């Protein structure tokens, strides 16, 4: 008889601790995603080590966002295998997948996706409340303090700057102690100064707390803050850089974009299932299995 026990949440890394050597937070094998006539991903093999910061880059249409969505359990791949914290996603029901997203996966968007009627503290507590838990005030205050927002618990999003709103979104994504934090252009809506502050904070979360971050970005300055940059082109891995610099990232991106302009994206005919990506609601990301993924983003 198949067990119906939900995946249990892992213990969050404590401040100042290092992740176990050689552990993998996310593993992708043969990852393929077809959207009708477009090969968005075409047999991607990647590992994202625990306690590391990885940036994912590539020309427009290279498959960056699709990679993130499949790795985070927000989209089902056409073929291949995704493992998060040792759990294979392809065999999970929609309910169990929603529970895994709630407990082990954090996601941060470019547009923050905060609920405007709620305070910063209420926004951060939302994933726990949707999971049926009553978070303590201390737990929420500590989550906000960890992203530099001590004393801002009662402020609503409209009373915060863009950078502060993104910090609230990051605190909300981390409140459940996820195995990995995914970011889809998390600094894309911020000015250069605020972007640098948010990137400093993400870097500190990795170095101080042992968090694992995978971030899609188009910005070489943002990518250079990562430990590693993975490049995609036409849905395939096109190389990577370790210890990246702004100059090395810019040079690699220029070469890829030049090639893409000459050859065009790979759009050969495909067979098998495929459907356009629709942005999920915050409730879906928080693990409310009754909320459809196709609802409007808040």
CB-based burial of residue 236 (10 Å sphere; 0-12 exposed, 13-18 middle, 19+ buried)?
Answer: middle
- CA distance linking residue 202 with residue 6, whole number of Å: 29
Q: Phi first, then psi: what are they for 40, rounded to 5°? A: -70, -40
Cβ-proximal residues to 238 (8 Å cutoff; 6+ apart), any chain: 58, 62, 231, 232, 256
CB-based contact 160:46 (threshold 8 Å): no
* Pairing of β 24-35 and β 87-88: unpaired
Q: What is the pLDDT of residue 37?
A: 82
- Written as one string, the DSSP assignment of 81-148 is EEEETTEESTT--HHHHHHHHHHHEEEEETT----TTS-HHHHHHHHHHHTT----HHHHHHHHHHTT
CB-based contact 184:217 (threshold 8 Å): no
CA atoms within 13 A on the CB side of 177: 10
Q: What is the pLDDT of residue 264?
A: 61
Question: pLDDT tens digits, the chain, 298 residues: what are they?
Answer: 444 444 444 444 443 334 444 699 999 999 999 988 889 999 999 999 999 999 999 999 999 999 999 999 999 999 999 999 999 999 899 999 999 998 899 999 888 899 999 999 999 999 999 888 888 999 999 999 989 999 999 999 999 999 999 999 999 999 989 999 999 999 988 889 989 999 999 999 999 999 999 999 999 999 999 999 999 999 999 999 999 999 999 999 999 998 877 766 554 434 333 344 444 555 555 544 433 333 333 3
CB-based contact 220:212 (threshold 8 Å): no
Q: What is the pLDDT of residue 210?
A: 93
Q: What is the pLDDT of residue 224?
A: 97
Q: Which residues pair with 229 in a beta bridge?
A: 55, 241
Three-state DSSP class for residue 174:
helix
Q: What is the pLDDT of residue 22?
A: 61
Which helix (H) or strand (E) is 62 found in, with range?
none
């Amino acid at each position: 008889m198949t067990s119906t026990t939900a995946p249990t949440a892992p213990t969050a890394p404590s401040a100042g601790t290092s992740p176990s050597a050689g552990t993998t937070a996310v593993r992708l094998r043969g990852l393929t995603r077809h959207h009708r006539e477009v090969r968005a991903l075409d047999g991607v093999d990647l590992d994202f080590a625990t306690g590391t910061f990885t940036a994912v880059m590539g020309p427009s249409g290279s498959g960056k966002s699709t990679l993130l969505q499949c790795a985070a359990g927000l989209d089902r791949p056409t073929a291949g295998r995704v493992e998060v914290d040792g759990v294979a996603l392809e065999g999970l029901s929609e309910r169990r997948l929603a529970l895994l997203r709630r407990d082990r996966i954090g996601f941060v968007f470019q547009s923050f996706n905060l609920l405007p009627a709620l305070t910063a503290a209420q926004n951060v507590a939302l994933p726990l409340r949707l999971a049926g838990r009553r978070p303590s005030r201390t737990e929420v205050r500590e989550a906000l303090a960890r992203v530099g927002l001590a004393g801002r618990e009662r402020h609503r999003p409209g009373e915060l700057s863009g950078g502060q709103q993104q910090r609230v979104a990051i605190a909300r994504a981390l409140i459940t102690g996820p195995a990995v934090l995914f970011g889809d252009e998390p600094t894309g809506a911020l000015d250069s100064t605020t972007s640098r502050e948010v990137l400093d904070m993400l870097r500190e979360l990795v170095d101080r707390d042992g968090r694992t971050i995978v971030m899609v970005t188009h910005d070489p300055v943002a990518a250079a803050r990562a430990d590693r940059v993975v490049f995609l082109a036409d849905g395939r891995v096109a190389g990577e850089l370790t210890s990246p610099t702004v100059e090395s990232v810019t040079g690699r991106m220029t070469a890829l974009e030049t090639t893409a302009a000459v050859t065009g994206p790979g759009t050969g005919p495909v067979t098998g299932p495929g459907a356009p990506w629709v942005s999920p609601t915050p409730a879906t990301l928080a693990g409310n299995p009754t909320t459809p993924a196709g609802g409007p983003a808040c």
